[in-house]
Structure 1
């Protein structure tokens, strides 16, 4: 089954990394992440084939596990 994913840019990864530093290493966030890139970056759409993903990872994971992982990573997706 294929879903189209709307790829989120690096700001979400940076935010998650900062949260993990606070949680795991006792860090402190002094200010919000700022996006100073001069040009607007449009969301990109990709097609994900879950069977190919399972084969590539070598894991037998359910569609629900894949969906939940994408949600945790803050990917927007639709069927």
Structure 2
């Protein structure tokens, strides 16, 4: 999920933000450098600025969905068998 979203961010989402907000990609990278000096291109912006949050989001959603899906599975099996 994180790798696919990184590719989508690189080719679609960040260029769309730049277009709709009236910024250039370089301006967006420059703004990001104030928070993280390791960011010097769109690729490093995605790797250092976006991917960690996507990984964290995926981990949190996984931890939430494991118990929810177990309870949902019992509920579905109970009602489909009836």
Would the TM-score normalized by the shorter structure come out above 0.5?
no
- Tell me the TM-score normalized by structure 2: 0.27
Q: Which has the higher contact order (CA 8 A, sep 6+)?
A: 1
Larger radius of gyration: 2
TM-score (norm 1): 0.28
Structure with bigger strand share is 1
